[in-house]
Amino acid sequence: MKTTTIAVHAGTRKDDSFGSVNQPIYMTSNYRLPTDGSYFDPTGINDFVYQRERNVNMLVLQDKLCGLADAEDCVVFGSGMAALSSVFTTFLKSGDHAIVSKVCYVSTEALFNEALNGKYGVEVTFVDTADTEAVKAAIRPNTKLIHMEDPGNPTTEIGDVEAVAKLAHDNGALLSVDATFGGLLCFRPRKLGADIEIHSMTKYINGHGDSLGGCVMGKKELVSKVRELCLVKYGGVLSPFNAWIISRGLVTLPIRMKQHCYAAQKVAEFLDTCPAVRFVYYPGLKDHPQHELASRVMENGYSAMMSWDLKGDRETHFKFLSALKLVSYAVSLGDVETLITYSESSDPKLQDYPEPFRAGFFRFSLGLEDPEDIIDDLTQAFRAAGLL
């Protein structure tokens, strides 16, 4: 089946008591057990005991994700960070070494620094994973996991997943990739050799800004370990309602991503030539540092995340933000509406970023609006800030 058909039909169960066409929400914490001494149904059809272990809506969502991503297995969690921490704590122990993208989601960095390294004795090296030679130089005999963000948050840098996967496997390590910025359909790291693919489903997969969730995909052997330790024992379960909400959002993902990518390309090209703009990083632009690599490994467009900055001081930046009418100044990404956040130069973490970012920048998530309307909104805000 084609992608749009899979998005509609994969995972759908037709076994409820009333013949509902739409998937019901199974809001129950536990299930009736068989009274004949057989604890589980060997067919797996009625293998439900307690919501933390599995519920119908979780299974529907997992099956749909496997269908769209061509994954052998998938497990979903209550948030993207629950999914990330489940991978790290499953495959790392005290004394192990991990290599992690130097520029990454702030909570990922904190998890490694404050918990895994600070409390539990996991050695961590942060490197620019877009530099394969830097990754190679960081490998130690006890390296067990390399973790990349690809495309990177917030720089949109693209690493050579295929080359890093070979390095990992040649040295007895696993490669996990947080591919949230790729929106599931634009970037498929497991096709390039990654062992584990992770997404914050809060973003593009759900797409409507109304639910948290995270997922881990890969071979059954690996995902089963994550499920058993972190879902069942840690309890980072996704509620049936949120699983239902995300499943509903996932149905339109192929259509949404087309518009996201279309709008992002148009707006990036506008920003790239606008005299009010200092720099733009978007993989779809030819002057992006990894544009050629992105063109080889990304599918169906370059997703809809970019970073850029205008020419002006702090006051000018906030005048611009205050003048926006369609674009919302808010965190998160992958929503139906366009979102913008601002990182100021006073943030010490920016010193690890590529040089253009160190003076401050906007992270920009293109929504589903017509790109001409977004361009008009940016233009009037530039004028209001005295930049045009």
The more confidently predicted of residues 56 and 335 is: 335
Same domain, 297 and 213: no
3 state DSSP class of 176: strand
The burial of 3, by beta-carbon neighbours within 10 Å (0-12 exposed, 13-18 middle, 19 or more buried), is given as middle
Give residues with Cβ within 8 angstroms of 237, minimum separation 6. 51, 52, 58, 77, 78, 231
Query: How confident is the prediction for the chain on average, in pLDDT?
Result: 93
Q: Note down the domain range covering 312.
A: 254-384
Q: Which of 168, 164, 166 is nearest to 149 (CA)?
A: 164
The more confidently predicted of residues 371 and 42 is: 371
Is 105 an annotated catalytic residue? yes
SS3 content of the chain, % helix, strand, coil (to 5): 40, 15, 40
Same domain, 217 and 155: yes
Are the CB atoms for 226 and 335 separated by under 8 Å?
no
Same domain, 330 and 361: yes
pLDDT for position 9 = 82
Q: In whole angstroms, what is the distance from residue 224 CA to residue 236 CA?
A: 15
Same domain, 242 and 338: no
pLDDT for position 116 = 95
- For position 369, which CATH number holds? 3.90.1150.10
Is 203 an annotated catalytic residue? yes
The more confidently predicted of residues 31 and 287 is: 287
Tell me which of 251, 282, 297 is where a domain ends: 251
Are the CB atoms for 167 and 129 separated by under 8 Å?
no
Is 52 an annotated catalytic residue? yes
Tell me which of 251, 268, 291 is where a domain ends: 251
Which of 128, 150, 178, 195 is labelled catalytic?
178
pLDDT in tens, 221-254: 999 999 988 988 888 899 999 999 999 999 999 9
Tell me which of 190, 221, 251 is where a domain ends: 251
- In eight-state DSSP terms, residue 30 is B
Same domain, 284 and 140: no
Q: In whole angstroms, what is the distance from residue 368 CA to residue 374 CA?
A: 10
Query: In this structure, how many other beta carbons lie within 10 angstroms of the beta carbon of residue 219?
Result: 13
Give the pLDDT band of residue 53 (cuts 50, 70, 90).
Answer: confident
Which of 26, 105, 204, 281 is labelled catalytic?
105
pLDDT at 44 over 60: no
pLDDT for position 14 = 62
Q: What global pTM score does this model have?
A: 0.93
Same domain, 144 and 158: yes
Give the pLDDT band of residue 41 (cuts 50, 70, 90).
Answer: low
Peptide bond into 354 cis (omega under 30): no
Q: In whole angstroms, what is the distance from residue 124 CA to residue 118 CA?
A: 10
Q: 214: which strand partners? A: 77, 200
**Cα–Cα–Cα angle for 166, 168, 172, rounded to 5 degrees:** 115
pLDDT in tens, 142-187: 999 999 999 999 999 999 999 999 999 999 999 999 999 999 999 9
Same domain, 217 and 268: no
Same domain, 263 and 180: no
Same domain, 113 and 247: yes
* Stretch 3-21: mean pLDDT: 77
Same domain, 299 and 179: no
Query: In this structure, how many other beta carbons lie within 10 angstroms of the beta carbon of residue 89?
Result: 18
Is 302 an annotated catalytic residue? no
* Stretch 199-204: mean pLDDT: 97
pLDDT for position 125 = 97
Give the pLDDT band of residue 378 (cuts 50, 70, 90).
Answer: very high
Which of 52, 191, 266, 311 is labelled catalytic?
52
pLDDT for position 42 = 47
C-alpha distance from residue 287 to each of 74, 78, 142, 270 (Å): 36, 38, 38, 14
- In eight-state DSSP terms, residue 336 is S
The more confidently predicted of residues 52 and 211 is: 211
pLDDT at 43 over 50: no
pLDDT for position 10 = 82
pLDDT for position 51 = 80
pLDDT in tens, 70-126: 999 999 999 999 999 999 999 999 999 999 999 999 999 999 999 999 899 999 999
pLDDT for position 17 = 63
Give the pLDDT band of residue 16 (cuts 50, 70, 90).
Answer: low
Q: How far apart are the first and last CA of the chain?
A: 49
Q: Tell me the backbone φ, ψ of residue 41, rounded to 5 degrees.
A: -80, 115
Give the pLDDT band of residue 258 (cuts 50, 70, 90).
Answer: very high
**Overall number of domains in the chain:** 2
- For position 202, which CATH number holds? 3.40.640.10
Same domain, 184 and 265: no
pLDDT in tens, 339-365: 999 999 999 889 989 999 999 999 999
Which of 203, 227, 256, 363 is labelled catalytic?
203
Residue where the block lists tokens 């990518």: 261
Are the CB atoms for 69 and 10 separated by under 8 Å?
no
Same domain, 274 and 229: no
